[in-house]
Amino acid sequence: MTTPLRDRATRLILAFAMTSVISAATVVLPHAARAEDQFDKMRAKIADAKGRDQLARKLASAAEGLPSHAVAVTDGGDGAVRLAPTDAASRARLNELVEDSIAMIEQRLKDAGIKLVSVVPDGTDRIRIFLPGVTDPERITAIFARKVKVSFRQIDASMSAEQAQSGTPPEGSEVLLGFKDKRPYLVTKESSKDSALDGNDISYAAPGFASGTKDPVAQFRFNGRGARRFAHLTEENVGQALAIVLDDKVISAPVIREPITAGSVQISGNFTLEEANSVAMLLRAGALPGHLTLVEQQVVQPGAKP
C-alpha cells in the first residue's frame, strides 16, 4: 500500500507561510485576495507596493516553523505576489509528512489489534506497509481513513462532574474522561458552534516546553480560517473554562483569560515528553496527510520477512 504526499507537502508549506508570515508582517490580506494558481503555486494580490515588498522580504527570509528560504517569492509588478516552495523546503516537509504518516499508521494498526511486520518509506512520497495474513485491504484502508475528532467544549459548572457521573448529567451536557488522569469532566454536548472547528483547521503541531516551568506541552497553530474561528470562540468564553477534546477525551480544560487571536495554542496537562509528543502527533496527523490507495497486494506468510 502506498500514499502520495508530495502535493500535500507543497500545500502545507504555502498555507503555513501565508498564515504565519502575513500575521508577523502585519500585512492586511483579505481572504478574497488569496487564490491558488496550481498545486505548487499560490498568489496574493496586494495593491500597496510597500505591503508587497514587506511580504516578499518576510517570506523570502524565514517563517517560524519553516526552514530558511522555504518560499520563493516573485513580485509580478501587477499587484500580485507569487509564491512557490523551494526544492529544499519541499523535500524537508515531505520527509516530515512521511515520518508522521508512518507513526500514525503504526499506532492505528496497533490500536486495531493488527500484527505489524513493518512500515517503511517507498521512494520519496510513498509508504509501503507489510501485513501478514491480511486478506481484506478495504478494512485497512478504512482504519487509515478515520480522522481524529477535535472539538472545544464549555465546562458545565452547574454541578460537579463526579455527581453527574454517578447520577444524571444536566440536559445538554455529558461526562467525558481526561486523556491522562481519567478524571471526569462535565462538558456541554457538541453543538454546531463547536463543530465550527476541527482537526482540518490545525496547520502545525509539535511537542515543546512551557517557557516558565519547562514542563512538556503540546503546541499547535490554526490555519487562517481556524484562527479566526478560535478567536471568536475565545472572545465569547472569556473567564470560562474551555475543554480541548480529542476523540472524546479531555486533553486540557484551561480558563480563557483573554481572547486568543494569534492562532497559536499551548496545551499543558502534566504531560511527559512522550505524552506531549503523542498529543501533538494526533493533532497534526489525525487524518493521514495523503489519500491511501492500494496499488499492490501480496501474500506474506507468517514469519516471513518482507
228-263 confidence digits (pLDDT tens):
888 988 898 899 898 988 878 898 888 898 888 888
Give per-residue pLDDT as tens, 103-155: 777 777 776 777 766 888 887 777 888 777 777 767 777 776 666 677 888 89
Burial tier of 114 (Cβ tally within 10 Å: 0-12, 13-18, 19+): middle
The 10s digit of each residue's pLDDT in 168-213 is 999 999 999 998 788 999 999 877 555 567 777 888 788 888 877 7
Q: What pLDDT, on the 0 to 100 scale, is given for residue 18?
A: 44
Label the pairing between strands 249-252 and 173-178: parallel
Task: Output 184 or 18, whichever has higher pLDDT.
Answer: 184
pLDDT of residue 55: 64
Please give the Cα distance from 200 to 283 (Å, whole number): 9
Domains and CATH numbers, the chain: 6-88 (3.30.1360), 150-285 (3.30.1360.200)
Each residue of 268-292: pLDDT tens digit?
777 888 778 777 777 765 555 555 5
Q: Is the model more confident about 24 or about 193?
A: 193
Task: Flag the least confident range among 60-74, 211-225, 252-266.
Answer: 60-74
Sign of CA dihedral 253, 255, 261, 262: negative
Task: Measure the CA–CA gap between 256 and 65, rounded to whole angstroms.
Answer: 25
For the ranges 27-36, 56-65, 80-89, 213-222, the lowest mean pLDDT is seen at 27-36
Render 203-237 in DSSP notation, one character per residue. EEEEEEE-TTT--EEEEEEE-HHHHHHHHHHHHHT
pLDDT of residue 175: 96
The pLDDT score that the predictor gives to residue 170 is: 93
Whether 19 shows a pLDDT value over 60: the answer reads no
